[in-house]
Amino acid sequence: MQASIDIASDAATQYLLRIGDTALILGQRLGEWTGHAPVLEEDIALANMALDLIGQARAVFSHAGAVEGRGHDEDQLAFLREERDYRNPTLVELPRGDFAFTVLRNAMAATFLRLLWTRLQASGDEELAAIAAKAVKEARYHQQHAADWVVRLGDGTEESRRRMLAALETLWPYAAELFADDAVDEAAAASGLGPRWSELKSDWQAQMAEVLGEAGLAVPAEAPFLSTGKRGVHSEHMGFILAEMQHLQRAYPGGVW
Amino acid sequence: MNALAVAASPRVERAWDVLAGVPDPEVPALSVCDLGIVREVREEGDALEVVLTPTYSGCPATEVIERSVLDALAAAGLGPARATLRRAPAWTTDWISAEGRRKLREYGIAPPGAAAAGEGVPIRIVSRRAAPPVPCPRCGSERTERLSAFGSTACKALYRCIACREPFEHFKPI
């Protein structure tokens, strides 16, 4: 079996991996809908968004590998790390749930990523700024699509509303982690690599409140719960998604298309 | 262009002619030049260097485009050539040429409006009502409706014309 790679622990590499892993794992979760979405148009939409996200992840990983300086390429970073070395917030690794759960998570994640990419366009790291300038345009479509669905389901039938409320109750506590800073954020802000993620919080809350308000849903109160995916301490779901993603590269080392 | 501008070498000029005949694999009505993804062609020593920019981050055609560009140049005897990827500035549909827009319409795809107009706009809740009309590429009517924001490829959306009842695709401004 192909062995795992060791990842550098410097803040810049960690900051980039948080971004790349967020896009990669959410992209993998959306890809699971291919052939299973409620209608063909949404099947296509979710697959297209998965493709955008995985494309963004590829670009960020290639760059992270260069910054890390250990010769790791995008495939090694995507497929050959141990679970603890993945740095995505727990929000994106939760199982895809029903369609209401998927579109609400997309709204939360796309709103966050659009704000993040917007700021990263001014990164002192030219390559990251270039990746962000492209990704921000894609995130705008993702956010619009997800928000439309949150409104349609929240302000829809009794059944769609029931499902949206259930999704909101489950997902909302995972938002807190997005904005919980640590030394990686401080270093990125100090070096000009990117913003502390907490700096995105007020805009994120305002935009989500607008979407939820239009959907007739109350913004849930903040809970003391704080998930820890960004530190590499993941939910019980992470191992399963990695097993599915990694088994080919592990069984056939270096396999390419 | 100013008086000091150096004319492109015959090899570079021929390369542009060849590239104008290389179709985009997803929208074969357009050449890679119509699409605006060939940013530069220059000679680097013995080699011809073609600078390409990706359309979407996850566009699965990026590698195919690179290969077909190099194959076409080799077939025309202009090699050796290599392709490099340039991300900044990010590709926008505003770079699709006037000729490209005409070809899109004839092919049955409604061309994109100005992308700059949509940049940085706050999220529009229930966008269907607020979005500017996309005229039907077949009958020209502005009575059209969006069926889905995403189509057969990431760059297109699905529409329907209410006047002539035909479905069509719209190249999204980005």
For chain A, what are the domain ranges? Answer: 11-251
pLDDT in tens, B36-45: 999 999 999 8
Question: What CATH number matches the domain at A11-251, 1.20.1260.10, 3.30.1300.10, 1.10.150.120, 3.30.470.10?
Answer: 1.20.1260.10
Q: Who has greater pLDDT, B115 or B139? A: B139
Confidence category of residue B133, pLDDT binned at 50, 70, 90: confident
Confidence category of residue B123, pLDDT binned at 50, 70, 90: low
ipTM of the complex: 0.84
B152 CB within 8 Å of a chain A CB: yes
User: For residue B2, what pLDDT is reported?
Assistant: 44
pTM over 0.90: yes
B126 CB within 8 Å of a chain A CB: yes
Cβ of B123 within 8 Å of Cβ of A211? The answer is: yes
Alpha-carbon radius of gyration of chain A: 18
User: For residue B126, what pLDDT is reported?
Assistant: 52
Tens of each residue's pLDDT in chain A, 257 residues:
889 999 999 999 999 999 999 999 999 999 999 999 999 999 999 999 999 999 999 999 999 999 999 999 999 999 999 999 999 999 999 999 999 999 999 999 999 999 999 999 999 999 999 999 999 999 999 999 999 999 999 999 999 999 999 999 999 999 999 999 999 999 999 999 999 999 999 999 999 999 999 999 999 998 899 999 999 999 999 999 999 999 999 999 888 76
Confidence category of residue B6, pLDDT binned at 50, 70, 90: low
Best of A46, A106, A144, A149 to mutate (most B CBs within 10 Å, chain B): A144
B67 CB within 8 Å of a chain A CB: no
User: For residue B116, what pLDDT is reported?
Assistant: 67
- Domains of chain B in start order, with CATH, are 10-91 (3.30.300.130), 109-171 (no CATH)
Chain B residues lying within 8 Å of A59, measured CB to CB? 57, 87
Cβ of B60 within 8 Å of Cβ of A147? The answer is: no
